[in-house]
Amino acid sequence: MLKSLQDTTTLHNGVKMPWFGLGVFKVKEGSEVIDAVKSAIKHGYKSIDTAAIYQNEEGVGQAIKESGVPREDLFITSKVWNSDHGYDAALQAFETSLNKLGLHYLDLYLIHWPGQNKTYKETWRALEKLYKDGRVRAIGVSNFHIHHLQDLISEAEIKPMVNQVEYHPHLAQKELHAFCQREGIQLEAWSPLKQGQLLSEPTINEIAEKYQKSPAQVILRWDLQNKVVTIPKSIKEQRIIENANIFNFELSPEDMERMDGLNKDERVGSNPDVMNVGF
């Protein structure tokens, strides 16, 4: 059983990645993101997940600097956006993100979306170079279906270490999860609470009452027990603390099954096969 925010999963290249972190999607640049990240780090979070398209990398970087926590104690993720697919463009995008963050390296760099024209293979070559050059400790993808992963792996020199996807009880992605486990690719959940829509789900509320936990805590615990890294977003300090208070209980096999039974293959975000923004 996972015991604390400091617990990690070991990626296939040996890098240790926290099971739990803070996502900053739709968190405004400036004081909002700075305060959220500083609050998270103050309360023990080690992992912060941002992206070029979030337009808040500078604030994340400032918060890291002001936190007083040594850089090597943190795990920082960013992502290359759709308009920067391709070898040279991706390398330049990385430099831009790193400069905005004010860091010398990233712990994890992801291709944000696969896109429609398979330029992700050229983008992946750029990430492989960054990895081999020691600029990034781990590389991966986001929003990749099985067929995207198979296509990428067939020509890649280095297999992705992480696949970050929309994942929650209404979108359990069981086939994708099983594929990633077989391939040694760590699955990571974005929008684990389905942007708050799951907090009123009756079954989840029943289970939450049983354990004297919040619906959010039950969902995030379900993620971890399914061996999925999770990065819930919040800008409120109390919610940041509450979300992470999930290491002192364990869902029973029966309650895990009840949660699994809520799957509807229902997305709150775009389907990667049709998402075409920025191309």
Catalytic site positions: 54
Choose among 14, 9, 15: nearest CA to 108: 15
The secondary structure of 120-184 as a DSSP string is HHHHHHHHHHHHHTTSEEEEEEES--HHHHHHHHHH-SS--SEEEEE-BTTB--HHHHHHHHHHT
Dig out the tokens for 143 from the structure.
Answer: 């929003």
CB 63 within 8 A of CB 57: no
Please give the torsion angle defined by the CA atoms of residues 258, 260, 266 and 269, in that order, rounded to the nearest 10 degrees: 120
Dig out the tokens for 278 from the structure.
Answer: 């920025």
Please give the torsion angle defined by the CA atoms of residues 126, 132, 135 and 141, in that order, rounded to the nearest 10 degrees: 50
Dig out the tokens for 224 from the structure.
Answer: 């971890």
- In the chain, what are the helix, strand and coil shares in percent, each to the nearest 5? 45, 15, 40
Amino acid at 219: I
CB 139 within 8 A of CB 109: yes
**Cβ-based neighbour number of residue 234 at 10 Å:** 21
